[in-house]
Structure 1
Amino acid sequence: LGLSDGLTVPFALTAGLAALGDTKIVVFAGLAELMAGSISMGIGGYLGASGEAQSAATTKASTIAMVYTSPAEARAAVISTLECYVSASLLDAVVTDITSAHDKTINFLLEHHHRFESADVSPRLYTSALCIAFGYFFGGLIPLLPYVFIEDGGVALVCSVVVMVFTLFGFGVGKTAVLGERRWGCRIVEGLKMVGLGGSAAAASVLCVRLVHQ
């Protein structure tokens, strides 16, 4: 998430500011946006993981309370989970076996009824935030680097666009491959889609800056 946003948002910003012709403005504003964007994206990742952890804790607590205080409701939940997969002749026996012990019932409901992950999610609070923040920052550095090394704003813009076309295309293809898509046609389409989205954002940014500047 952080990398895809980092490749598009700073690219659009730097392309828009490049219309002013001053690479120093592009570099300083781009770095400021990278820092602010990375922090906000990291905070968003932390809050998202924190919400997931709180939801998991609430689900676990409510399931435990239901099993101990309302066995009939717990049994009904087990039945609703199994009835699509177990024949009617075996259902009652299977449900009785699962609900014969509280721990067994709790574990079954958490794993199969609520799709609960037993692993501790608290470490993800920080790893998720850091991965998203650093992904955004390093992704945003790519379109900014040409403005650091090239003084001519027009040339830097062209170099940045060329670099980002290949980067966005490669990111789209790579992301699709990582997700398990083996067809090269779909990978190429996803790469072109990323180029189109990033290019549209950059073009809109340039147009807005030029309209305001005039």
Structure 2
Amino acid sequence: MDTHLHHNTHQHTEEHLESSDFLRDVVIGMSDGLTVPFALAAGLSGAVASSNIIVIAGIAEIAAGSIAMGLGGYLSGKTEQDHYTNEEKREHFEVENLREREIEETKEFFANIGLSKEVQEQATEEIARDKDRWVSFMMKYELGLDKPDPKRATKSALNIGISYIVGGIIPLSPYFFTENAIDGLKYSAIATLICLFIFGYVKSKMTGVKPLWGALRVTLIGATAAAAAFGVAKLFD
């Protein structure tokens, strides 16, 4: 019965962590995907009259941006995994060669959570019997590190890259159906600002920030970036 409960708890924790990682990746990809291509399209709209040029430039930017963002997610995931592996090797070395010190650190952990001296001794003796389990315990409770998913880097790259593409298509899509760049910009601004508001609201809801304020802030950032790009293009034009 205990094993069954432990398995369910472990599965629930893994699902929760995977869900959090996925949502974080989507937020990173979508926020940049909505903002950067929108600002680019707005800037080009202030400099060129044809929507075709904006479409070509926008597609190129989305392709480059999604690859760059995906690569950033991949490197971040690999760095996390490499950090865990290095710390795990160090803990194995300390368990093998600095056993007494590790025993004292383990007892100290149990003391900090309020266990009696006798229970500290028993718990430490029990956990120190299995070196792998001991190392896993120290990784989690001494260093505060959870074992990362070995596929995390690849998943992160895909999640962020695809989210960037989805976000980037929204401000660019009106230009597919208009010949005049300014007309495309009008429809793009309406569609993108609505999406930014919804995205900001959902993101703020997830992170515990006031949803309305979060939505307005994200929308304002996107609008400011696009307006600045459009103004600079007009100025130089």
With normalisation by structure 1, the TM-score equals 0.89
Partner in structure 2 of residue 164 of structure 1: 192
SS for the counterpart of 2:112 is coil
Q: Alpha-carbon deviation of 1:111?
A: 2.1
Once superposed, what is the RMSD of the aligned Cα atoms? 1.9
Rounded to whole Å, the distance in 2 between the matches of 1:97 and 1:122 is 29
Q: Which moved more, 1:147-156 or 1:5-14?
A: 147-156
Rounded to whole Å, the distance in 2 between the matches of 1:108 and 1:62 is 14
For 1:17-36, list aligned pairs within 5 A. 17-20=44-47, 21-36=49-64
CA deviations over 1:96-140 (Å, ceiling 9, x no partner): 443344234212102211233235x22112111011111111101
Partner in structure 2 of residue 82 of structure 1: 110
Query: Number of paired residues?
Result: 208
Partner in structure 1 of residue 35 of structure 2: 8
The 8 Å contact of residues 39 and 225 in structure 2, kept in 1 or not, is answered as: yes
SS for the counterpart of 1:151 is coil
Letter in 2 for 1:187: P
Partner in structure 1 of residue 21 of structure 2: none
Query: Which of 103, 113, 122 is the matching residue for 2:132?
Result: 103
Query: Which of 188, 204, 207 is the matching residue for 2:231?
Result: 207
CA deviations over 1:139-161 (Å, ceiling 9, x no partner): 01100011111112211111111
Percentage of identical aligned residues: 31
Partner in structure 1 of residue 101 of structure 2: 73
Asked if 1:44 corresponds to 2:72, the answer is yes
SS for the counterpart of 1:117 is coil
Partner in structure 1 of residue 82 of structure 2: 54
Structure 1 gaps of 5+ residues are none
CA deviations over 1:57-107 (Å, ceiling 9, x no partner): 111111111101111221233244334312564544543443344234212
Q: Alpha-carbon deviation of 1:211?
A: 1.8
Q: Alpha-carbon deviation of 1:187?
A: 0.9
Structure 2 gaps of 5+ residues are 1-27
Letter in 2 for 1:198: G
SS for the counterpart of 1:108 is helix
Rounded to whole Å, the distance in 1 between the matches of 2:52 and 2:83 is 46
